[in-house]
């Protein structure tokens, strides 16, 4: 049994001001730490099973240029809004040891759905003044992952392992944003 903390899909990208795709995105940041609780046991000699539960507390921020204006989408800060950016998933694995020095393993982590309710959408004009503010809702799916491993004890003190990972990036798809009514006139314009 054990616990752990990992940040498998955290990312941040900021593009320069002259980036050709700045109407698509200028800046994006996703923080998605996972708290893990896992356990494993030997079924029979040479065969072990394990399972882990993950709880994710995430935060999303995205900026883009809109014809001289910039738009920012932010979720609430980590741990500050009930249900915003929260998700859970699990993984399971099997390890088989056909002979004492050879270890074969496979594990699968299930995809994680994160939903953001009450995210803030803010539109700024070219002077940086806030002109529009609204609440937005979106959902992100973190991909599932299949891992395969082969390990071999070359000697008492040397262990060699080869791992392969397949990540289901196709589950990401698109990021659809749903807006509540836009509230005009929040800035100087």
C-alpha R_g of the chain: 22
Q: Which pLDDT value is given to residue 186?
A: 32
Q: Which pLDDT value is given to residue 16?
A: 74
pLDDT in tens, the chain (189 residues): 999 998 877 667 777 777 766 556 667 777 888 899 999 999 999 999 999 999 988 877 776 666 555 555 555 554 455 456 788 999 999 999 999 999 999 999 999 888 877 666 666 666 666 666 667 777 888 889 999 999 999 999 999 999 999 999 887 766 666 666 544 333 333
Q: Which pLDDT value is given to residue 65?
A: 62
Strands (E), the chain: 2-6, 11-14, 27-31, 34-44, 47-57, 59-66, 69-74, 86-99, 102-109, 112-124, 130-142, 145-153, 159-167, 178-179, 183-184
Q: Which pLDDT value is given to residue 13?
A: 72
d(CA 2, CA 52): 9
Q: Which pLDDT value is given to residue 50?
A: 97
Q: How far is CA 100 from CA 124, 152, 158, 160, in A?
A: 64, 9, 14, 14
d(CA 33, CA 29): 13
Structure tokens at 37: 């609780």
Structure tokens at 103: 């270890």
- Position of tokens 């994006």? 28
């Amino acid at each position: 049994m054990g616990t752990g903390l990992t940040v498998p899909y955290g990312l941040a990208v900021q593009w320069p001001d002259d980036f050709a795709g700045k109407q698509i995105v200028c800046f994006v940041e996703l923080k998605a730490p996972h708290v893990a609780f896992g356990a494993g046991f030997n079924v029979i000699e040479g065969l072990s099973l394990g399972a882990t539960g993950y709880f994710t507390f995430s935060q999303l921020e995205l900026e883009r240029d809109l014809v001289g204006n910039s738009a920012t989408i932010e979720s609430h800060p980590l741990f500050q809004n009930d249900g915003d950016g929260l998700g859970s998933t699990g993984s399971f694995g099997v390890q088989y040891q056909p002979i004492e020095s050879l270890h074969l393993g496979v594990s699968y982590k299930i995809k994680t759905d994160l939903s953001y309710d009450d995210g803030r959408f803010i539109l700024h004009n070219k002077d940086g003044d806030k002109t529009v503010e609204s609440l937005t809702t979106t959902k992100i799916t973190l991909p599932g992952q299949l891992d395969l491993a082969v390990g071999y004890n070359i000697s008492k003190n040397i262990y060699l392992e080869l791992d392969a990972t397949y990540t289901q990036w196709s589950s990401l798809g698109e990021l659809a944003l749903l807006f509540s009514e836009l509230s005009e006139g929040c800035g100087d314009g």
